[in-house]
Amino acid sequence: MPRVVDHDERRRTLALAACAVIARSGLAGATMRDVAAEAGCTTGMVSHYFADKDQLLVAALGAATSAVAQRITRTAAERPGDLVAVLAESLPLDDVRRREWRVWTAFWGAAVGNPALAREHAARYARWRGGLATVLAEEPWAGAVHEDAAETVMTAVDGIGLHAVFEPQLWPAERQLAHLNRVVEALKR
Amino acid sequence: MPRVVDHDERRRTLALAACAVIARSGLAGATMRDVAAEAGCTTGMVSHYFADKDQLLVAALGAATSAVAQRITRTAAERPGDLVAVLAESLPLDDVRRREWRVWTAFWGAAVGNPALAREHAARYARWRGGLATVLAEEPWAGAVHEDAAETVMTAVDGIGLHAVFEPQLWPAERQLAHLNRVVEALKR
């Protein structure tokens, strides 16, 4: 009987390897060979699944986004009503989340002047916006929230994350959380 | 008498051309040849001034940052005490500022995994932080401002700008200004 190849599993493994390599070396510095070495497979295997660097980048971004979404779902279930805890899952508070953030930042840079990547970004943000609007509507203080609350939170998270990713020494986890907390408290007033 | 070449002027012209090309085509899509065509000179001339793409990118970023700084200085003089108007000079409210933002965003992406560019970023942000702290200290409501006010403003501007650069249809100038205004008002409470 021929060995069954689990293509989804392999694709996921390669996407995670791409995350690690892009976070470490940046997009310009990342090569198919590095990703292969990280995944413990051949370069041919990587290029079999991903035709070019853009595809690899999108896959890496997908892996990072799935990881965030899983954590958010879990935290939302474990700590209902704790909006800051939920949002904190998408801030670069530890090594894992810093790595995801470095992939996001590399992706944004690559999306400038690249319509396909810019559409990918817009699609992901539309989902985030929708999810966040649902979470906000369930807050006990939802009535007080202005219509742009979801955007306020999203731009705050992205602003804090961007600063923290480049100046981690200025932005320890406590400071990121304090800023996020201030933004959420301001929403309630 | 030999013709005197104004190297600073030429460097500035090339940096502005690099801004235009990077904003249009992204960093991956920008070539020395495009920059030469934009500046109306030879490719050899571009590579005489900038040895590689990173140097070109830093020069483009410098040109964009200088333009913002000049506008901020002028607006601060013309509208003293109008913090929102001053900060608005660094949001992507029109074509000129959107172009600058696209260069910044491309730069951030390139700075991931590139220590030299990351240092360049940190140096520029240190100057912005310093300038902003001075402006905030002069506000009539300065006493009410918490110590992280400058960071709150900076992260808000970067978050709004990042969203607006990728989804301009969702972020017309009025919406960016309304968000910025809300952040500044929240500082005063």
Q: Pull the structure tokens for residue B112.
A: 């991931």
In chain A, which among 108-167 make CB contacts under 8 A with chain B?
108-114, 118, 121-122, 125, 146, 148, 151-152, 154-160, 162-163, 165-167
Which DSSP string do the residues of A115-183 spell out, in sequence order?
HHHHHHHHHHHHHHHHHHHHHHHTSTTGGG--TTHHHHHHHHHHHHHHHHHH-TTT--HHHHHHHHHHH
Q: Work out the percent of chain B whose per-residue pLDDT is above 70.
A: 96
CA distance A173 to A127: 26
Distance CA A157, CA A148 (A): 14
CA distance B6 to chain A (A): 32
Q: Collect all residues of chain A within an 8 Å Cβ-Cβ radius of residue B30.
A: 113
Distance to chain A for B166, nearest Cα, Å: 7
Residue of B21, B104, B112 to mutate, interface with A, max A Cβ within 10 Å: B112
What was the pLDDT predicted at A167?
A: 95
**What ipTM describes this predicted complex?**
0.91
Report residue A132 as tokens: 């966040």
Tell me if chain B has a CB within 8 Å of the CB of A51.
no
Which tokens is B97 given?
């500022």
The per-residue pLDDT for A143 is 64
Please write the tens of the pLDDT for every residue from B118-174.
999 999 999 998 888 888 887 777 666 667 888 999 999 999 999 999 999 999 999
Any chain A CB within 8 A of the CB of B99? no
* Token pair 């003293």 in the structure block, residue: B80
Of B27, B146, B186, the CB nearest to A109: B27
Distance between first and last Cα of chain A: 66
Residue B17, token pair as written in the block:
């051309």
Asked if A178's CB is within 8 angstroms of B108's CB, the reply is no
Residue the block writes with tokens 């919406």: B175
Q: How far apart are CA B179 and CA B175, in angstroms?
A: 6
Does the beta-carbon distance from A163 to B154 stay under 8 Å? yes
B52 touches chain A (CB under 8 A): no
Task: Give the pLDDT confidence of A148-179 residue by residue, as tens digits.
Answer: 888 999 999 999 999 999 999 999 999 999 99
- Rounded to two decimals, the pTM is 0.93
Length of chain A measured in residues: 189
- pLDDT > 80? residue B57: yes
Report CB contact under 8 Å: A178, B148: yes
Q: What is the pLDDT of residue A96?
A: 94
A88/A91 Cα distance (integer angstroms): 5
Q: What is the DSSP string of B92-150?
A: --SHHHHHHHHHHHHHHHHHTT-HHHHHHHHHHHHHHHHHHHHHHHTSTTGGG--TTHH
Give the whole-angstrom CA distance, residue B174 versus residue A20: 39
The pLDDT tens digits for B83-119 are 999 999 999 999 999 999 999 999 999 999 999 999 9
Chain B environment of A102 (Cβ under 8 Å): 112-113
Residue B40's region, left for phi above 0, alpha for psi from -120 to 50, else beta, is left
Q: Which residues of chain A have pLDDT under 50?
A: none
Residue B189 has pLDDT above 80, yes or no: no
Q: Residue B102 is nearest to which of A23, A27, A112, comparing CB atoms?
A: A112
B26 touches chain A (CB under 8 A): yes
Local structure of residue B31 (DSSP, 8 states): -
Length of chain B: 189
Please give the C-alpha separations between residue B91 and each of A86, B162, B169, B188, in angstroms, as whole numbers.
28, 9, 15, 21
Give burial (CB, 10 Å; 0-12/13-18/19+) of B94: exposed
Query: Exposure of A77 by Cβ count < 10 A (0-12 exposed, 13-18 middle, 19+ buried)?
Result: exposed
Q: Which residue has the tokens 């070109």?
A: B56
pLDDT given at position A181 = 93
